[in-house]
Amino acid sequence: MKRDILINSTPHESRIAIMEDGTLAEFMVERRQERGIVGNVYKGKVARVLPGMQATFVDIGLEKAAFLHVSDLTTGPEDLAPLINGSDEEIVFESTRPPTHHRLPIERQLSPGQEILVQAAKDPLGMKGARLTSHISLPGRYLVFMPTMNHIGVSHRIRDEEERNRLKEIAQSLARRSGGFILRTACEGLSKKEILRDLQFLAKLWEGIQKKGESVTAPALIHQDLDLIARTIRDFFTADTHQVIVDQAKEQRRILDFVGHFLPRWKSKVVLNSRPEPILESYGVEAMVEKALERKVWLKSGGHIILEQTEALTAIDVNTGRFVGRRNQEETVLKTNLEAAQEIVRQLRLRNTGGIIIIDFIDMEKADNRKKVYEALREALKKDRARTNILKISELGLVEMTRQRTRESLQNTLMSPCPHCAGRGRIKSRVTLAYEILRAIKKDQAALEDGKKIMVRVHPDVANYLYDDETHSLDHLEREINRKIIIKASAELHHEHYQISTI
């Protein structure tokens, strides 16, 4: 599999596309004013304790109080795996597990007004506040350091038994009196010295977090995780990566500094985009993202799947569509379902769909065929870095599964509820449109009449946002293209429509 990482960086947002064999596998967006909080460490203040829910709300300085469940206070390794931030690893604990202790009720552990050091495990989603954990985990390039735990783990993705045994010995020799760690997949083939250097760096980072936590008053941000670009290089840049292609020289230098420290032999893989057109457009990513925002996805055979995201779950329906097959109905249905299984996993990754997922495959009469579709789905999910749990396909062709959700879906990131249909549909948000317009101006300005000012007619809501919140971005673009840009509000235009011309 050929993997490329495409990085589009602007002053207002970073967009990253993970390409696998020329197809968009994952797409991530981080905006300056909407940066996620997963991985951040806070000194919070307990606001309310809810014995009936065995949970508490903690003020960490955000608009909404964050949520902390009693299970996230318990120090048992069985509770740790779902909370390891940033690792996306399947964990096998190598140290002996102690007997599971009975959890103390949360009202005996915390009280209103108490200050506590916590880490964000999930971003706020919709109307829900952030999810917190007291199990701090600090991800590095080669391992995840857990200062509040005393257990050592090895990524289950390292499948070679001889290599696993070697890493187990290294892990045991590096065991600390306080604090545990998980060896990540990137440890494969590394020396003890390289792993130790990462562990020492993270231990020093934890000491700094502790000192700062003692000197500030809650609520306060103690430690902020890396930005999207740095996290992507840390977590996605592996031996099977063909190239990292960046469109800004400044970001290329920053990445090369990181790679030079950890992966000097891979520096040649980090290149500056040489194509004249915008990086994501030249590789076809923009069109792929547009399709990922649609309900219907066509299959190569002529069938299609429908994806509906609701508050409680995501429902996926598989249909034969235009595909009628050649022999019999059962064969037609099987072929469509097998193709759909591959595409469904790709769409779940691309859209970052999490939570409960129900897949309605087309009914199959033969149990063997249902088993084939189920195994095809399981095999496809092995490429997914997010944790999943899947139940066997039922006689009705339904599959129930869950997928790890730590940040907003692509749909919720790029779109907002439509004001024209009382929230029943979705349209692009004004932030997305504003940045889309800025990219369109940069793309089209060369084709417009020289020496003329550029006028952009947009919906008033988008125009107000550009003038009120993106003045800096407009000024930056004007200097870059050496042209004056005038934004004109036009109430007759649809929210998503805009016109670019010269005056």
pTM for the full predicted model: 0.79
Amino acid 301: pLDDT: 87
pLDDT of residue 75: 52
* pLDDT tens sequence across 78-137: 444 444 444 444 444 444 334 444 578 999 999 999 999 999 998 887 778 999 999 999
Structure confidence at residue 176 (pLDDT): 77
How far are the Cα atoms of 5, 157, 269 from residue 238, in angstroms, in the given order?
11, 13, 11
| pLDDT given at position 99 | 41
Q: Give the Cα separation of 241 and 262 in Å (integer).
A: 15
Tally of CB atoms within 10 A around 13:
20
Cβ(228)–Cβ(16) below 8 Å: yes
**C-alpha–C-alpha distance, residues 404 and 25, integer Å:** 17
Which parts of the chain have pLDDT scores under 50?
Answer: 76-101
* Of 483, 475, 494, nearest in space to 433 by CA: 494
pLDDT at 325: 60
Taking the CA atoms of 462, 468, 474 and 476 in sequence, report the sign of the dihedral they define. negative
Q: Which pLDDT score is estimated for 423?
A: 67
pLDDT reported for residue 424 = 66
- Buried b / exposed e along 332-361 (16+ C-beta atoms within 10 A): bbbbbbbbbbebbbbbbbbbbbbbebebbb
Nearest CA to 71 out of 100, 91, 33, 38 is that of 100
| pLDDT score recorded for residue 159 | 80
CB atoms within 10 A of CB 253: 12
- Residue-level pLDDT at 326: 63
pLDDT of residue 96: 38
At 385, which helix (H) or strand (E)? none
Nearest CA to 133 among 208, 206, 184, 58?
58
For position 90, what pLDDT does the model report? 43
Contact 402, 367 (CB under 8 A): no
Closest CA to 134 of 114, 122, 119: 119
241: nearest Cα among 164, 159, 186, 182: 186
**What is the reported pLDDT for 427?**
83
Nearest to 317 by CA among 331, 297, 332: 297
Query: Are residues 462 and 437 in contact, defined by beta-carbon separation less than 8 angstroms?
Result: yes
Total H helices, total E strands in the chain:
12, 27
